[in-house]
A = this chain, B = another copy of it.
Amino acid sequence: MDRARACVVGASGVTGGELLRLLVGHGGVDISCITSREHRGEYAFRVHPNLRGRLSVAFAEPSLDSVLKRDPDVVFLALPHGESVKWVPRLVESGLTVIDLSADFRLKDPSAYAEWYGWSGGHPYPDLLGRAVYGLPELHRGELRGAKLIAVPGCMATASILALAPPTGARLVDVGRLVIDVKISSSGAGSQASRLDMHPFRTYVVRPYEVVHHRHIAEIEQELGLVSGERVRAAFTPHAVDLVRGILATGHAWLSREVSEPDVWAAYRSMYGGERFIRLVKDRAGYQRYPDVKYVIGSNLADIGFEIDDRMGRLVVFSAIDNLMKGAAGQAVQDMNIALGFDEAEALGSAPLYPV
């Protein structure tokens, strides 16, 4: 495709704003419509002041009809879980490409929506679920080409899967007892105000939450299961930390056999050798030895590293991403680039902003 017309539904939230920031810099995309219930009629730059001077479009009321009337080639849904599912069937039916940033089409098993999202009766559109592609390019690039329905992975799921796929796939670790300990910033929480999200109460925290049953577990076990061909079980505990952007996922995995450092390197290199948005970070010199959110902010990169703990028979792996980029909007644009045939890195080429 030479040029694409894009709509962003739910464009006044944080993820919506990041999508707009990327799309205004995309050489092949015209922003065709943007919607927001809360801010309809307002100029986008008044909600996302970084775009002042860049974008002079106003938010429209979100409605299927008004979006379809704009005849977009691609629609990004930056809606809460449970909302996207109301939009997707008609959008897909109309033949355009749908890139859904919610969780509504991420899980392959329709009944998993009953267990993890509390949808009675499971997913209402199992057939659509079957057609949805899980939008992690490093694992599903082939399926993404020409895909019409893409489920952008969850932010913590992205970090966790990228860190653990190589050793899991190479059967280096016990996939039944993975431990994933995540540190996450505030911007993923959305823009709906609640007291605990306010500045005085959300700064200076290391705050565990949803400590044994976070919904991203379902995605992680699904994708690592596909990679390894085995049933994967992951203990997963996220912690809110005092950052606006960034996720660091730490995976603690028990080695299933004796492995050397070159074995582990081989697993990572064989899976990510040609990847443009993965950096393997494990260095013996310089200021950075392992992944750190500090060095990926503003970029679509995932920094991945590891260390072998001989004493414990443990492999510890790290993954650092910017949750709004590789964890949401950046990955969504990467998915679009692949689906529509643009250069995969178009609009995503910024080096990390550092220091920030």
Interface residues, chain A, with chain B CB atoms under 8 Å away = 14, 17, 21, 24-25, 42-43, 45-54, 177, 179, 181, 183, 186-187, 189, 191, 193-209, 211-213, 233-235, 237, 239, 241-246, 248, 250, 252, 254, 279, 281, 283, 285-299, 301, 307-312, 314, 316, 318, 320, 349-356
What CA separation (Å) do A248 and B205 show in the bound complex? Answer: 9
Instruction: Give the residues in chain B near A354, CB-CB below 8 Å.
Output: 17, 21, 48-50
Among B42, B237, B294, B299, contact of A286 (Cβ-Cβ < 8 Å)? B42
Expressed in whole angstroms, the minimum distance between the Cβ of A352 and any Cβ of chain B is: 4
Instruction: Give the residues in chain B near A309, CB-CB below 8 Å.
Output: 211-213, 235
Among B45, B179, B307, B353, contact of A50 (Cβ-Cβ < 8 Å)? B353
Instruction: Give the residues in chain B near A211, CB-CB below 8 Å.
Output: 290, 307, 309, 316, 318
- In the assembled complex, 23 residue pairs joining A and B whose CB atoms fall closer than 8 Å, in A order, are A14-B355, A25-B349, A46-B283, A46-B286, A49-B287, A49-B354, A50-B351, A50-B352, A52-B279, A179-B179, A183-B183, A193-B193, A198-B202, A200-B355, A203-B203, A204-B297, A206-B294, A207-B292, A208-B316, A212-B316, A242-B243, A245-B355, A297-B353
What CA separation (Å) do A48 and B248 show in the bound complex? Answer: 19
Expressed in whole angstroms, the minimum distance between the Cβ of A176 and any Cβ of chain B is: 9
B252 adjacent to A50 (CB under 8 Å): no
Instruction: Give the residues in chain B near A43, CB-CB below 8 Å.
Output: 286
Instruction: Give the residues in chain B near A45, CB-CB below 8 Å.
Output: 286
Instruction: Give the residues in chain B near A25, CB-CB below 8 Å.
Output: 349-351
What CA separation (Å) do A297 and B355 show in the bound complex? Answer: 11
Instruction: Give the residues in chain B near A243, CB-CB below 8 Å.
Output: 204, 206, 242
B244 adjacent to A298 (CB under 8 Å): no
Instruction: Give the residues in chain B near A351, CB-CB below 8 Å.
Output: 21, 24-25, 50-51, 54
Among B279, B299, B355, contact of A204 (Cβ-Cβ < 8 Å)? B355
**A-B contact sample (17 more), CB < 8 A, given A183-B206, A191-B195, A199-B199:** A14-B200, A21-B354, A46-B287, A48-B354, A49-B281, A50-B299, A50-B351, A181-B181, A187-B200, A198-B198, A208-B248, A211-B316, A212-B307, A233-B312, A235-B252, A235-B316, A237-B316
Expressed in whole angstroms, the minimum distance between the Cβ of A172 and any Cβ of chain B is: 16
Instruction: Give the residues in chain B near A353, CB-CB below 8 Å.
Output: 21, 50, 297-298, 353, 356
Instruction: Give the residues in chain B near A283, CB-CB below 8 Å.
Output: 46
Q: Which of A205, A246, A349 gathers the greatest number of chain B CB atoms within 10 Å? A: A205
